[in-house]
Amino acid sequence: MTEKYDAIIIGAGIIGAAIAYELAKKGKKTLNVDILPAAGYGSTSNSCAIVRVYYSTLDGCAMAYDGYHYWDNWAEYLNADKGEDLAVFHKTGNLVLKTESNDRMSGTLGHLDALDIPFTHMTTDQISKEFPFFNMSCFAPAKTLDDPAFGEPTGGSIEGGVFFPKGGYVSDPQLATQNIQHAAERVGAEFLFNRRVVEIPTTDNRVQGVVLDDGRRIEAPIVVNVAGPHSYQITEMVGAEKDMRISTRALRQEVVHVPAPESVDYAANALVWSDSDAALYARPAVGNKILIGSEDPPCDVHQFVDPDDYDKNFTDQLTVQAMRFAQRFPEMGIPNSLQGCVDLYDVTEDWIPLYDRTCVDGFYLACGSSGNQFKNAPVAAKAMVELIDACEGGHDHDVIPLTYKLENMGHEIDLATFSRLREVNQDSSFSVLG
Ligand X SMILES: Cc1cc2nc3c(=O)[nH]c(=O)nc-3n(C[C@H](O)[C@H](O)[C@H](O)COP(=O)(O)OP(=O)(O)OC[C@H]3O[C@@H](n4cnc5c(N)ncnc54)[C@H](O)[C@@H]3O)c2cc1C
The DSSP result for 70-101, as a single string, is: HHHTHHHHHTPPTT-----EE---EEEE--TT
Helix extents (H) in 252-376: 266-269, 316-328
| Shortest distance (Å) from residue 4 CB to ligand X | 19
Q: Does the footprint of ligand X cover residue 375 (CB under 6 A)?
A: yes
Q: Given candidates 7, 9, 16, 240, which one binds ligand X under the rule CB under 6 A?
A: 16
Q: Does the footprint of ligand X cover residue 44 (CB under 6 A)?
A: yes
Q: Is the dihedral of CA 406, 408, 409, 410 positive or negative?
A: positive
Cα separations in angstroms, 364 against 240, 290, 312, 385, 392: 9, 37, 30, 10, 11
| Shortest distance (Å) from residue 39 CB to ligand X | 8
Helix (H, G, I), strand (E, B) or coil at 172: coil
Q: Given candidates 91, 196, 257, 395, which one binds ligand X under the rule CB under 6 A?
A: 196
DSSP 8-class letter at 337? S
Strand residues in 123-248 grouped as ranges (E): 161-164, 168-170, 190-192, 197-199, 202-203, 206-207, 209-212, 217-219, 222-225
| Shortest distance (Å) from residue 143 CB to ligand X | 22
Half-sphere exposure of 13 (CA within 13 A, CB side): 29
Question: Which residues, numbered 220-249, are part of the site for ligand X (CB under 6 A)?
Answer: 226-230, 234
x-or-dash pattern for ligand X, window 265-304, by CB under 6 A? ----------------------------x-----------
**Choices 122-130, 256-264, 341-349, 419-427; region in contact with ligand X by CB under 6 A:** 341-349
Determine the Cα angle at 64 with ends 69 and 343, to 5°.
Answer: 110
Distance between CA atoms of residues 168 and 94, nearest Å: 6
**Nearer of residues 138 and 226 to ligand X, judged by Cβ:** 226
Are residues 51 and 67 in contact, defined by beta-carbon separation less than 8 angstroms?
A: yes
**Nearer of residues 43 and 419 to ligand X, judged by Cβ:** 43
Q: Given candidates 23, 33, 142, 264, which one binds ligand X under the rule CB under 6 A?
A: 33
Q: Given candidates 24, 42, 139, 422, which one binds ligand X under the rule CB under 6 A?
A: 42
Cα separations in angstroms, 370 against 242, 314, 334: 21, 21, 29
Q: Is 287 exposed, middle or buried (0-12, 13-18, 19+ CB in 10 A)?
A: exposed
Distance between CA atoms of residues 213 and 427, nearest Å: 41
Q: In what order do the strands lie in the sheet with 190-192?
A: 190-192, 30-33, 7-10, 222-225, 363-367, 354-356
Q: Does the footprint of ligand X cover residue 12 (CB under 6 A)?
A: yes
Q: Does the footprint of ligand X cover residue 66 (CB under 6 A)?
A: no
| Shortest distance (Å) from residue 41 CB to ligand X | 6
Distance between CA atoms of residues 400 and 395, nearest Å: 8
**Nearer of residues 136 and 291 to ligand X, judged by Cβ:** 291
Distance between CA atoms of residues 165 and 143, nearest Å: 31
Residue 259 main-chain phi, psi, to 5 deg: -70, 140
Q: Given candidates 7, 31, 48, 63, which one binds ligand X under the rule CB under 6 A?
A: 48
**Nearer of residues 136 and 168 to ligand X, judged by Cβ:** 168
| Shortest distance (Å) from residue 369 CB to ligand X | 3
**Choices 146-154, 216-224, 327-335, 369-377; region in contact with ligand X by CB under 6 A:** 369-377
**Nearer of residues 138 and 419 to ligand X, judged by Cβ:** 419
Q: Given candidates 99, 174, 369, 419, which one binds ligand X under the rule CB under 6 A?
A: 369
Q: Given candidates 21, 30, 47, 294, which one binds ligand X under the rule CB under 6 A?
A: 47
**Nearer of residues 332 and 344 to ligand X, judged by Cβ:** 344
**Nearer of residues 249 and 375 to ligand X, judged by Cβ:** 375
Q: Does the footprint of ligand X cover residue 373 (CB under 6 A)?
A: yes
| Shortest distance (Å) from residue 144 CB to ligand X | 20
**Nearer of residues 233 and 425 to ligand X, judged by Cβ:** 233
The DSSP result for 224-282, as a single string, is: EE--GGGHHHHHHHTTGGGG-SS--EEEEEEEEEEEPPTT--HHHH--EEEETTTTEEE
Q: How many residues bind ligand X (CB under 6 A)?
A: 40
| Shortest distance (Å) from residue 150 CB to ligand X | 23
Q: Does the footprint of ligand X cover residue 87 (CB under 6 A)?
A: no
**Nearer of residues 13 and 209 to ligand X, judged by Cβ:** 13
**Nearer of residues 135 and 305 to ligand X, judged by Cβ:** 305
Half-sphere exposure of 219 (CA within 13 A, CB side): 5
Distance between CA atoms of residues 9 and 170, nearest Å: 24
Contact positions vs ligand X (CB under 6 A): 10-16, 33-36, 41-44, 46-50, 196-197, 226-230, 234, 253, 255, 293, 343-345, 369, 371-375
